[in-house]
Amino acid sequence: MTPSDRDRYSRQILFAGVGEQGQQCLLDARVAVAGCGALGSFQAGALARAGVGFLRIIDRDYVELSNLQRQWLFDECDVEQGMPKAAAAARKIAGINSGVRVEPAVADLTPSNVEDLLGGVDLILDGTDNFETRYLINDFAVERGVPWVYGAAVGSYGIAMPVIPGKTSCLRCIYPDPPPGAQPTCETAGVLGSVTALIASWQVSEAIKILCGAQPTRKMTTVDVWTGDIRQVAQPGPVADCPACGRREFPYLAGERRAPVSLCGQNAVQIHERTRPLELRDLAARLAPLGPVRANEFALRFEVPPYLLTIFPDGRAIIKGTTDVGIARSLYARYIGA
Ligand SMILES: [Zn+2]
């Protein structure tokens, strides 16, 4: 550690839980931030300030004006320049802490690139906005024995839980399968910036403990910043018959549980969800404030220019206006919840 490092991180080193040894662990650490929206941008900035030596920042989206209310690393300049979030985050972090090596990846995290994007790191932080990607992260992390920290926030509510493969329960120990039906998303239910910062901050604290060799919180923590309620449930050890921890089955990693996607027509992508029965009229009511929507019992049509989403009761969707699979998945995750 250089004298400049000792000065920069002096307050963190003074904290007994970290100390000089813990700080050295952070400087040597490699972390992947999966998703750089509200949670991920806070995580990436906080880890850079804490001195984590290497950050791989993965995100498929571009910075939009409606992100700035809660996505801490971004500003109006990023919106004007149409910056990808991963690249905008890397640029911002270079100014926060030039000692951190940042590898931005403008990509949709999928079974085919998960090895490249999540490989070779000591810890993975969940900054995603959908269950499909979280289950992929869980499969990868459990299979490789890499710790990860789950986190999610919508409305005024958030949840966080560290996963140490082999020591704690994993996401599938607790939720063997993703929740069925359409899920509330930040696009349909809104979100307070404060709850995203709180959850991301909790995840970062767990990450720092794990990287320093300290004990993470063995609890699942849920908070609601509007009602002021905080709940914690003890986190068990690995569950014997968990498909991931116990039976070592990794269908998300193999791509078997991924909603297949196909190009469809000139300028459209089809997402064929397997078993996601949707109540189209309920979904229409949720989407109505966001743009023109029409629904009957057979299909729902929702316009978000330049895109047109047609959604069917079995969960299938056709997204017109793009041939980019990543954009199609992103729209599906935002408006239907995946
Ligand atoms: Zn498990």
Angle at 291 between CA 290 and CA 293, to 5 degrees: 115
Stated pTM of the model: 0.85
How far does the centroid of ligand 1 lie from the alpha carbon of residue 140, in Å?
Answer: 12
Which residue numbers are catalytic?
A: 186
Radius of gyration over alpha carbons of the chain, in Å? 20
Q: Which residues surround ligand 1, an ion (CB under 5 A)?
A: 170, 172-173, 242, 244-245
How far does the centroid of ligand 1 lie from the alpha carbon of residue 98, in Å?
Answer: 38
Instruction: Note the pLDDT tens digit of each residue in 252-308.
Output: 998 877 767 777 767 888 887 656 788 899 999 999 999 999 988 778 999 999 999
Look at 4 and 277; give whichever has higher pLDDT. 4
Decide if pLDDT at 50 tops 60. Answer: yes
54: which strand partners?
Answer: 30, 101
Mean pLDDT of the chain: 93
Distance CA 56, CA 125 (A): 10
Instruction: Note the pLDDT tens digit of each residue in 95-129.
Output: 999 999 999 998 889 898 999 999 999 999 999 98
How far does the centroid of ligand 1 lie from the alpha carbon of residue 220, in Å?
Answer: 14
Token duo for residue 323: 């041939």
Decide if pLDDT at 310 tops 60. Answer: yes
